[in-house]
Amino acid sequence: MATAQQIPPKPGLKTRAQHFWQRVSEGLEVHQLWSQLKKDAQSSYRLYSAGMAEREAGQKPIQRAVYVVKTLFWAIIEKLSPARRVLLLIGLILAFLPTGGFEYRNDTGHVVAFDLDFHFWGAALIFLVLLLELADRVVMKRDLEIAKDIQSWLLPGAPLQLPGYALAYATRPANTVAGDYYDVILRPGATREDDRVLFVVADVAGKSIPAAMLMATFQASLRTLAASPAPLGQLVAQLNQYACSNSQGGARFTTAFLAELNPATGDINYVNAGHNVPILRRSSGVMERPDVGGLPIGVMASTPYEVGTTRLANGDWLVIFTDGVVEALNANGDEYGEPELIRLIDRGAGLTPADVLKNLLAELDWFVGSTPQHDDMTCLLVKRT
């Protein structure tokens, strides 16, 4: 005999409210939401107040307040399309008008009164502008997420398994897409003894989409050139010549550190093209800084690049990073700094690169706190075991 199927009870008001809040907040705690809101507010203020500080100097407090309000108003208005500017201005005017109305006598002699709620229509127009801007943001966010996925495909996945060596790398974009680039490229030789591994960390001038597009161009050029048997110095020179043809007269340059490793011997040829000088920590604790190279890539087509040489012995570390790591700022405007990075590497000399990288990212999180990230962060670590 079939039994009647029981219908589950309808969730109560409290349960539905909890589900609604979970969907809106994506499970974030109140303090996490507040921290996110502070970051968004600080980022938006920096965007709208660009160039304001220079003109504030010497003004009285009232004049400065008026100037700040006026400047922020025009900074917001000018970022809208002309049609939306008009809608927003009409909405603001209506929102501040008193509620009014008018009367007229119809054919039968009765007086008909109409009340106009200007506040309602003002709010409706402002809300309409908000919806239009939100639609643009949704479309842009979707495109940026696609661009982020494409960019992630250009970067190496799991670290290369290189006998006798341990690798770790990570990048944190300041925006959805980044101008930082790192890569590990295997350059096969005629024999196994001739195989080389190319480590690259680069930082394209600028941020977000323009820098990400140039990063993709840099990656494609480097990958193409690295497939040839050209020595490192020639490879960098060719990469620079191509970059100069697309750098808008040197305005769009790229700093880069390229190190070619002979895994069998630990010998390294490297070129530092205007990049932050990496850290080479010897097993003895001595720190060296490989700084041989030349100008950033894309500045001058005919610039020469000098190739430096060094060697990784057992227990030695090579730490390559971008300026976003050492120039990370906290709420007081203090930089994380190279000395702190060197101390962290020194403390973790007995650990694996993956553990040291994890510690570095955690320490950066603690140091910056709720301060918005202002630059891309990238770090690549190599240890000979």
Separation CA 184–CA 377 (nearest Å): 17
Separation CA 202–CA 255 (nearest Å): 6
Amino acid at 194: D
Question: Do the Cβ atoms of 317 and 346 come closer than 8 Å?
Answer: no
Regions of the chain short of the pLDDT cut 50: none
CATH 3.40.50.1820 fits 156-384, yes or no: no
- What residues have CB less than 8 Å from 39, skipping those under 6 apart? 370, 371, 372
Dihedral angle sign, alpha carbons of residues 317, 319, 325, 327: positive
Question: Do the Cβ atoms of 262 and 196 come closer than 8 Å?
Answer: yes
H or E element: which one contains 91? helix 82-96
Q: What is the dihedral of CA 67, 68, 72, 78, to 10 degrees?
A: 20
Q: Which two tokens stand for residue 332?
A: 């007081």
pLDDT at 122: 87
H or E element: which one contains 141? helix 118-154
Question: Do the Cβ atoms of 200 and 298 come closer than 8 Å?
Answer: no
Phi then psi dihedrals of residue 40, to 5 deg: -65, -40
pLDDT at 159: 81
Domains of the chain, residue spans: 156-384
What three-state secondary structure class fits 329? strand
Dihedral angle sign, alpha carbons of residues 289, 293, 298, 299: positive
What are the pLDDT digits (tens) for 11-31? 777 788 888 888 887 777 887
Q: Which two tokens stand for residue 216?
A: 């993709």
Task: Find the helix packing angle between 353-368 and 338-347, rounded to 10°.
Answer: 140
What angle (nearest 5°) sits at the alpha carbon of residue 155, between those of residues 152 and 160?
130
Give the number of other Cβ atoms within 10 Å of residue 162's Cβ.
17
pLDDT at 290: 95
Q: Which two tokens stand for residue 15?
A: 């349960």
- Rounded alpha-carbon distances, angstroms, from residue 247 to 209, 214, 233, 239, 379: 16, 9, 20, 12, 25
Q: Which two tokens stand for residue 29?
A: 């705690």
Q: Which two tokens stand for residue 219?
A: 């990656």
pLDDT at 365: 92
Separation CA 341–CA 335 (nearest Å): 11
